[in-house]
Every structure is written in structure tokens, then in C-alpha cells.
Amino acid sequence: MKKLALVTCLVGLGFLGLIILFVFSRDKLPNSQLCEVTQVKSGDSLVVICDNQTRQVKLCGVVVAAASQAEAQKLISSLIENKSVSAIFSGNAAEIFVPTASEEEKMLSEQLLLKGLAKFNAQDNCPNSDSIKLAEQIAKEKRLGVWK
């Protein structure tokens, strides 16, 4: 019983940490651009139009395994449906933020990690890599998806 309470507390603290990191780092994000997603090519790759330029981008900080591709594509499609997104580019990768009903935004990479559909990719140079790593840690603690 004590272990369950401790794990629940740690998961709650992890979520709180993720929210705090996201809120405080979002104000400092460089080069955010408003974009339209025209295609979800795979579970970790999109085609976007930003400033009248079409680009294929990989979601920053994540790798989606072949077994999770279909579910990841479905999740991304549902999150971006009929919405403009904010993109922060890092080479050919981008952090993609989707507006929600509240004034907060959700980062697609974090959403994939929180559901256990992806693993963190340290090779990408993501501006918010700390919050992306934390999202993976939360999924690991909950034993979700690839962490079962």
C-alpha cells in the first residue's frame, strides 16, 4: 500500500514538474511560427506549410517504433484536426504545439511520449528537451505503451 502511494505521489510530482517546465520554458521559445499541417506522414513526421513554404518535418525529440506508427498517426491527426499549430524548428525537426480548449498548448512530441507511443531521441537538439525527457519518464513510471 505504501509503495502504491509513493508511486502515485511521484507520478503526480512528475506531471506537476512537466507543467511547470512547459509554462516557464514556453515564454522563451525562439522562432515560433504559425503553420498548417497538410499531412501526417507517419507517427513522427508531418508536412507543414509555414509562411507559404511547404516543409516535411520530423517531430523533435522522439522516435516512434514501427509497431506504434498507426496509433501515433491517429493521435496526432486527432490533436491537429482543424487547427493551426505553432512550430519551433531545429534543423529538419520541429517542436509542434497544438492549441487546446484552454489557453494552454500541447506539444505533439510530449503527447506521444506520455502515451508510451515513442521513445526520447537525444540526437535531436530540441529547445524543450527537458520537458520531453520528463514526459518519457512519466510513461516509464506508468508502464505505458513501449514501457509495458
- CATH label of the domain that carries residue 28: 2.40.50.90
Cα separation of 148 and 141, whole Å?
Answer: 10
Binning the chain into helix, strand and coil, the percentages to the nearest 5 are 45, 30, 25
The closest of 100, 99, 88 to 57, measured between CA atoms, is: 88
Domain assignment of residue 94, given as a range: 2-147
| 136 vs 19 pLDDT, higher one | 136
> Given this model, what pLDDT does residue 103 score?
82
Please give the model's pTM, rounded to 2 decimal places.
0.79
Interval 65-78: pLDDT, tens: 999 999 999 999 99
* Number of domains the chain contains: 1
> Given this model, what pLDDT does residue 83 score?
93
Q: Which residues contact 93 (CB under 8 A, 6 or more apart)?
A: 57, 58, 59, 60, 61, 124, 125, 126
